[in-house]
Amino acid sequence: MAYHIDQLEPGMSASIAKTVTEADIILFAGVSTDVNPAHLDEEYSKGTMFGGRIAHGMLSAGFISAVLANKLPGAGTIYLSQTLKFKAPVRPGDTVTATVTVKEVNAAKNRVTLETVCTVGGKVVIEGEALTMPPVRTAAPTGTA
């Protein structure tokens, strides 16, 4: 499902939830090449301000992309920009809920601004704002075959 520009209005919201697993962290490290020991080395991480391993911030931020692509605006959405503020760590085993809420609709430019928030147990771990271009309606075929 996808929402087109004329179907979107401020206040519309959608969420997904995902538990961050050990495999997610290892796979993200491999794909991104971010092998910071804060994410991968428990002994090293115990000596940090977090007192243990944390997930990559961009792994959790990626769940925002999943909401935009799969729910609101949905399939075919083009992600144009994103601001992020990392407010708290996400640890292996935490369930991250990513929520997007429509803030502004610019029909003339086919642009939608959304508030983006990720939480763990009700605590905000990431907040920001996204600019997207929802999918454009395709013209219905004319004539018969």
Distances from the Cα of 48 to the Cαs of 37, 43, 44, 61, 116, in angstroms? 10, 10, 7, 22, 28
Task: Output the pLDDT for position 40.
Answer: 97
**DSSP character for 109?**
G
Please give the domain boundaries of the chain with CATH numbers for all domains: 5-133 (3.10.129.10)
Residue 55: exposure state from Cβ atoms within 10 A (0-12, 13-18, ≥19): buried
Residue 138 CA to residue 36 CA, distance in Å, equals 45
Q: Which residues pair with 2 in a beta bridge?
A: 74
Tens-place pLDDT, residues 23-80: 999 999 999 999 999 999 999 999 999 999 999 999 999 999 999 999 999 999 999 9
Decide: pTM greater than 0.85.
Answer: yes
Q: pLDDT tens, 102-140? A: 999 999 999 999 999 999 999 999 999 999 999 988 766
